């Protein structure tokens, strides 16, 4: 079957989606930016073109898996009124994992309720107020009593979330300096709320935005990982690992996995592309710890290259109308399968 027949002829690739989305989403809400001069944002994408494929023939490639999931990203309602609910439906339809941001614009319970047995992962951050981080973890794990006691006013919390793992963002001791957002006078519109966070409400009853809260700049391996393990029985993966030395530290601390990520270039500008960092990290961790990857994925060949360079799994950043996302996931996986069919 030609899966392209399923698609809007204007949107056949992720690049098409970005271009079409830019026409519909006001510049002030454009999330396709990054830190400082956005050098790393560009390099994340361009790095894939530096690696070429070396195909082999007469190989059995029947029944290949598509190692792709949705990466956590804040406030999907900036792109579509259904927000993370639409993303979750697309993940469920394609039976792929979805990682949800703490800064999602839909509750973690409602997002998981859209699923159909596909895995859900909760992204968390070390806030200075650790009770906020703790509550997200308890709700994700399905601690009904604690969630109900603290969030009794939210009927959504009567649902048991049952997430499988947490992704702990460790590249966020402070928020990145995002100059493009300042130039665009970026602000979250009133319809975008953050129901997973129990920060004190600001005037007008709004949850503070990411720029208005305090992250913990004192996080360290021993203390913070011990605290995490005391909170949950879920798998703990570190998101934002970037060097062989930190892969070794993750193995030493018996983490369940690492995600090679530079926050999409939105935190520290000037670091290498994640694909380049992956080579170093995979060499250190191969066979010793699961390695996932995100950053710059636009094509099925990008997924293939990341897997060939040592990733066990890839997470892509995508949100919008769920039918469009469903079709694009099919396109990515179809493109990936075509590369596997000519695998090196």
Q: Does 74 count as an annotated binding residue? A: yes
Q: Does 226 count as an annotated binding residue? A: no
Q: Does 206 count as an annotated binding residue? A: no
Give SS3 for 291.
strand
Residue 16 tokens read as 């098409």
Tell me how far apart the alpha carbons of residues 108 and 196 are, in angstroms, rounded to a whole number: 7
Q: Does 90 count as an annotated binding residue? A: no
Residue 333 tokens read as 């996986």
Tell me how far apart the alpha carbons of residues 262 and 244 are, in angstroms, rounded to a whole number: 14
Q: Does 231 count as an annotated binding residue? A: no
Q: Does 294 count as an annotated binding residue? A: yes
Q: Does 72 count as an annotated binding residue? A: yes
Tell me how far apart the alpha carbons of residues 324 and 13 are, in angstroms, rounded to a whole number: 11
Which of 199, 249, 197 is closest to 220 using CA atoms? 249
Query: How is 78-99 classified by DSSP, letter by letter?
Result: GT-TTHHHHHHHHHHHHT--EE
Which of 267, 331, 339, 321 is closest to 298 using CA atoms? 331
Q: Does 236 count as an annotated binding residue? A: no
Q: Does 102 count as an annotated binding residue? A: no
Residue 109 tokens read as 């319970």
Q: Does 239 count as an annotated binding residue? A: yes
Q: Does 297 count as an annotated binding residue? A: yes
Q: Does 261 count as an annotated binding residue? A: yes
CB atoms within 10 A of CB 79: 22
Alpha helices per DSSP H over the chain: 14-24, 39-46, 83-94, 108-112, 130-141, 144-150, 179-183, 221-231, 244-252, 274-285, 300-308, 322-340
Phi-psi region of 221 (alpha: psi -120 to 50; beta: other; left: phi over 0): alpha
- Which residue in the block uniquely carries the two structure tokens 């990682």? 99
Tell me how far apart the alpha carbons of residues 122 and 108 are, in angstroms, rounded to a whole number: 8
Q: Does 291 count as an annotated binding residue? A: no
Tell me how far apart the alpha carbons of residues 7 and 53 are, in angstroms, rounded to a whole number: 27
Tell me how far apart the alpha carbons of residues 207 and 195 are, in angstroms, rounded to a whole number: 8
User: Which run of H or of E encompasses 49?
Assistant: none
Is residue 263 annotated as part of the catalytic site, yes or no?
Answer: yes
Residue 196 tokens read as 């997973």
Q: Does 73 count as an annotated binding residue? A: yes
Active-site residue, from 76, 191, 253, 263: 263
- Which residue in the block uniquely carries the two structure tokens 């928020």? 175
Q: Does 296 count as an annotated binding residue? A: yes
Which residue positions form the known binding site?
A: 72-74, 101, 123, 178, 239, 261, 263, 266, 294-298
Which residue positions form the known binding site for glyoxylate?
A: 178, 263, 266
Which residue positions form the known binding site for FMN?
A: 72-74, 101, 123, 239, 261, 294-298
Query: Which residues are annotated as catalytic?
Result: 263
């Amino acid at each position: 079957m030609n899966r392209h027949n399923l698609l809007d002829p204007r949107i056949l690739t992720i690049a098409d989606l970005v271009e079409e989305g830019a026409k519909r989403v006001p510049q002030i809400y454009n999330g396709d930016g990054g830190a400082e001069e956005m050098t790393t944002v560009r390099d994340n994408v361009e790095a894939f073109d530096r690696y070429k494929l070396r195909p082999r023939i007469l190989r059995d490639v029947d029944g290949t898996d598509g190692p792709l999931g949705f990466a956590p990203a804040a406030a999907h309602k900036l792109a579509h009124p259904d927000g993370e609910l639409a993303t979750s439906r697309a993940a469920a339809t394609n039976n792929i994992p979805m990682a949800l941001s703490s800064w999602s614009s839909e509750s973690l319970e409602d997002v998981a309720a859209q699923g159909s047995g596909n895995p859900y992962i909760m992204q968390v951050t070390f806030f200075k107020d650790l009770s906020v981080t703790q509550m997200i973890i308890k709700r994700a794990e399905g601690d009904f009593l604690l969630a109900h006691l603290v969030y009794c006013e939210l009927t959504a919390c009567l649902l048991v979330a049952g997430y499988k793992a947490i992704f702990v963002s460790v590249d966020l001791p402070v928020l990145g300096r995002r100059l493009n957002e300042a130039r665009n006078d970026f602000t979250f519109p009133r319809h975008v709320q953050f129901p997973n966070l129990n920060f004190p409400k600001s005037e007008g009853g709004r949850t503070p935005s990411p720029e208005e809260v305090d992250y913990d700049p004192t996080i360290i391996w021993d203390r913070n990982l011990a605290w995490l393990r005391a909170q949950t029985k879920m798998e703990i993966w570190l998101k934002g690992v970037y060097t062989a030395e930190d892969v070794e530290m993750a193995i030493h601390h018996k983490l369940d996995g690492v995600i090679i990520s530079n926050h999409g270039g939105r935190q520290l500008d000037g670091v290498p592309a994640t694909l380049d960092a992956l080579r170093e990290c995979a060499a250190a961790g191969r066979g010793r710890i699961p390695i996932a990857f995100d950053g710059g994925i636009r094509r099925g060949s990008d997924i293939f290259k990341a897997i060939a360079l040592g990733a066990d799994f890839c997470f892509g950043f995508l949100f919008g109308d769920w039918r469009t996302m469903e079709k694009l996931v099919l396109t990515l996986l179809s493109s990936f399968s075509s590369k596997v069919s000519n695998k090196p």
